[in-house]
Structure 1
Amino acid sequence: MDEMDLMKKLRDVPSPRTDAYDSARAALHTAMAEPVSTVVRPKRWLSWPKVSVAAVGAAAVAAAVVMGTTGTSTPTGDPIIAAPQVVDSALVKLASDVKAAGTLSGDSSLVITTKTAPDGSPYLVYTVYTDKGQVFHGDSAKTLQAAAAKGDDAATQYDANVMAAARLAATGDVEKAKIAMVNASPNGLGLGLSPAEQEKAWAQNYEVTAKMLREIGKQVPDFKPRPTGKELEDVINNRLWSHTTYALFIGAANADIRAGVLKLVATIQDVTIGKAQVDDQSALTLTAGPSLQGGESTHVVTINADTGLPIRSEVFPVKDGKPSAARYKSSRVNLADVVAGKI
């Protein structure tokens, strides 16, 4: 199915930014219990100037897909999420170091992302995420300045959700933070609810999504039961990985966001941790293999081994398709300086 048709159907929602497709796709496929992967790749960067690394699509699909739960209740139906295991102490230690070091001066995170267009040319994405929750985008320092000066806040509820979950994880309540992060976008899993409520949320999610598919003339897949066991674990961890890495990519210069992300990724058993040297930096590679990507790809995120700041993100398809990559430079800034063009 062409999930972009679903996005286009939501005419009152602003055009999705780069990789918003992937969050929308993830939400839709989870609703249908189909395989899903988070793929970082360019999306109409010329006609959609407000570019980001992932996610406005999730906000768009929220109009069509039922949000399972806010994640405030005690988990009762899913032991997988109820007792998250921190499986890599290196990430936990790094999170502790990041938290202890604190956030540098400034009131915002500036992330400059470099990607490659289909024609092979590089293009830049400038994102400012303020500590108050505002998000400004541009494809250059000049357009970023213009967006900030006009107060063109592109923040979505999804942005607020993932950042709040990351901050919660940084304070130490990883269990609640994990539920909140998984539920940051619509999925119908109903994490944190009773088994009966979860089944109801799953069925409602299917019906709402099926209605939308019918309205845009798409075939509705047969209803599938809510996943269980390893299948459920993979779905949960797919959402967790997708949302935490998005939070890292736009809010990395905030120490609480970064520390929370590291602690949450440490709970994903199938993420493997490696060591590397990148641009004369000691680095850690965080690899989410095909089991976490719907069998479609492997996603590797490289972070600085001392600071946890993201360096690059690479996706390697299992079968067809070319690998894609993005590079990141993160720093602390003051929004007033961005407005004044001082970046």
Structure 2
Amino acid sequence: MKNLRDVPSPGPEAYDRARTALQAAMEEPVATVVRPKRWLSWPKVGVAAVGAAAVAAAVVLGTSGGSVPAGPSGPAPQAVEAQPAVEAPLVKLASAVKAAGTQPGDASLIVNTKFGLDGKPDLAYTIYTDQGQQFTGDSMKTLAHAVAKGDAEPAQPYDKNVMAAARLAANGDVDKGRIAMITASGNALGLGLSPAEADKAWAAAQAETAELFRKIGKPVPAPKPRPTGKDLENLINNHLWSNTEHALFANAADAEVRAGVLKLYATIPDMIVGQTTVDGQAALSLTVPPAILGGSKDVLVINAGNGLPIREEITSAEPSKHYVVNYKSSRVTLADVAAGKI
């Protein structure tokens, strides 16, 4: 896809279809939702390519997870203590993050370096502005070029929704923030609805997914009954983890968003919070319950002092595939980025 530089950018409708494809994976009771857009640098591609890539990403990356973070970029952090997750550590950190406030600038920059199965680094640069614009590049040069041209990606309601949900949680209403985050990409699970309304919402989502697959020439998946009981609970928490991470990885340098993310992480049942160090800095490792990831493993390491993401290690359940992603986040000024001063 990096070679498709001259293909026109996809329009909003293509992004909507891609979002629906990812939602299809989210609606599978045993599916794990991973944010392929945050992992990969997607230059300008055609409409059909976006739809196909979204489906491929939902299927191939949809089962990823992780263990104690380590990777080719440096030594593995050594876990010195792990304990069942409780609200105190993450909520306490969230309060400190919010009190410290957001650093000067008008946008958040996150650089992620993914190490795939071949161990080779793949860098992606993302800027999320305070006005909700998003710019991407596969190098500082291409990112600066995109900002200078004003070549922002089409604004997506999903991005706006996850940011709003994080801010809601940060400012005290964690319960409402949690519901808003879980339903950021729709309410196919029927959260808060009557049984009849929930069944209707599920059927509508199934029909939308079927139509998407027909449009892109893929076999239409057989309809599935709406999950209930433990399956529904796990899927709800799967949505919460995935959507919250999306907010963090897009806008980590915004203190309010980051504080809300930490508070929402604290509501995930059976989360394990461990103490570790990475490159000499104190860190917390957040281990997601495998039950909500279809048996996969996912460990996110954040700075213990400011909550910024440092590293994520994911390992799929079957077949076993291992990925490591390192993160660097900072506040920037768009004018500086456009001038190549990053």
Identify whether the pair has TM-score above 0.5, normalized to the shorter chain.
Answer: yes
What's the offset of the Cα at 1:340?
Answer: 1.6
Q: Confirm or deny that 1:36 pairs with 2:35.
A: no
Q: Confirm or deny that 1:232 pairs with 2:232.
A: yes
User: What is the rounded CA distance, in whole Å, between the counterparts of 2:126 and 2:223 in structure 1?
Assistant: 39
User: What is the rounded CA distance, in whole Å, between the counterparts of 1:129 and 1:106 in structure 2?
Assistant: 11
Segments of structure 2 that go 5 or more residues without pairing to the other structure are: 1-9, 56-84
User: What is the rounded CA distance, in whole Å, between the counterparts of 1:283 and 1:211 in structure 2?
Assistant: 45
Contact conserved, 1:40 with 1:315, CA < 8 A, in 2?
no
3-state SS in 2 of match to 1:36: coil
Listed one character per residue, the Cα deviations across residues 242-269 of structure 1 (whole Å, up to 9, x for unaligned) are: 0111111121110001000000010001
Q: Map 1:33-182; keep pairs closer than 5 Å.
A: 33-39=28-34, 48-49=42-43, 87-117=86-116, 119-154=118-153, 155-182=155-182
User: What is the rounded CA distance, in whole Å, between the counterparts of 1:98 and 1:43 in structure 2?
Assistant: 23
User: What is the rounded CA distance, in whole Å, between the counterparts of 2:306 and 2:297 in structure 1?
Assistant: 24
Structure 1 residues 264-273 or 224-233, which shifts more?
Answer: 224-233
Residue 314 of structure 1 corresponds to 313
Residue 249 of structure 1 corresponds to 249
3-state SS in 2 of match to 1:307: coil
Q: TM-score, normalised by structure 1?
A: 0.78
What's the offset of the Cα at 1:321?
Answer: 3.4
Contact conserved, 1:42 with 1:117, CA < 8 A, in 2?
no
Residue 69 of structure 1 corresponds to none
3-state SS in 2 of match to 1:35: coil
3-state SS in 2 of match to 1:202: helix
Q: How many residues align?
A: 296
3-state SS in 1 of match to 2:147: helix
Q: What residue identity is the alignment partner of 2:311?
A: R
User: What is the rounded CA distance, in whole Å, between the counterparts of 1:103 and 1:151 in structure 2?
Assistant: 24
Residue 194 of structure 1 corresponds to 194
Listed one character per residue, the Cα deviations across residues 178-197 of structure 1 (whole Å, up to 9, x for unaligned) are: 11111111451132333321
Listed one character per residue, the Cα deviations across residues 199-252 of structure 1 (whole Å, up to 9, x for unaligned) are: 111111112222333454544444333222221110010000001111111211
User: What is the rounded CA distance, in whole Å, between the counterparts of 2:198 and 2:35 in structure 1?
Assistant: 30
Structure 1 residues 312-321 or 143-152, which shifts more?
Answer: 312-321
The 3 A distance-change label for structure 1 pair 45 and 30 is closer
User: What is the rounded CA distance, in whole Å, between the counterparts of 1:250 and 1:217 in structure 2?
Assistant: 31
3-state SS in 1 of match to 2:128: strand
The 3 A distance-change label for structure 1 pair 322 and 43 is farther
User: What is the rounded CA distance, in whole Å, between the counterparts of 1:327 and 1:50 in structure 2?
Assistant: 24
The 3 A distance-change label for structure 1 pair 263 and 45 is closer
Contact conserved, 1:94 with 1:306, CA < 8 A, in 2?
yes
The 3 A distance-change label for structure 1 pair 281 and 121 is same
What's the offset of the Cα at 1:38?
Answer: 3.0
Q: TM-score, normalised by structure 2?
A: 0.78
Contact conserved, 1:41 with 1:325, CA < 8 A, in 2?
no
What's the offset of the Cα at 1:128?
Answer: 1.0
Contact conserved, 2:21 with 2:212, CA < 8 A, in 1?
no
User: What is the rounded CA distance, in whole Å, between the counterparts of 2:44 and 2:300 in structure 1?
Assistant: 23
Q: What residue identity is the alignment partner of 1:229?
A: G
Listed one character per residue, the Cα deviations across residues 274-309 of structure 1 (whole Å, up to 9, x for unaligned) are: 1111111100011113211122x1111100011000
User: What is the rounded CA distance, in whole Å, between the counterparts of 2:37 and 2:260 in structure 1?
Assistant: 27
The 3 A distance-change label for structure 1 pair 50 and 179 is farther
Residue 324 of structure 2 corresponds to 325
What's the offset of the Cα at 1:322?
Answer: 2.4
User: What is the rounded CA distance, in whole Å, between the counterparts of 1:265 and 1:247 in structure 2?
Assistant: 12
User: What is the rounded CA distance, in whole Å, between the counterparts of 1:161 and 1:215 in structure 2?
Assistant: 26
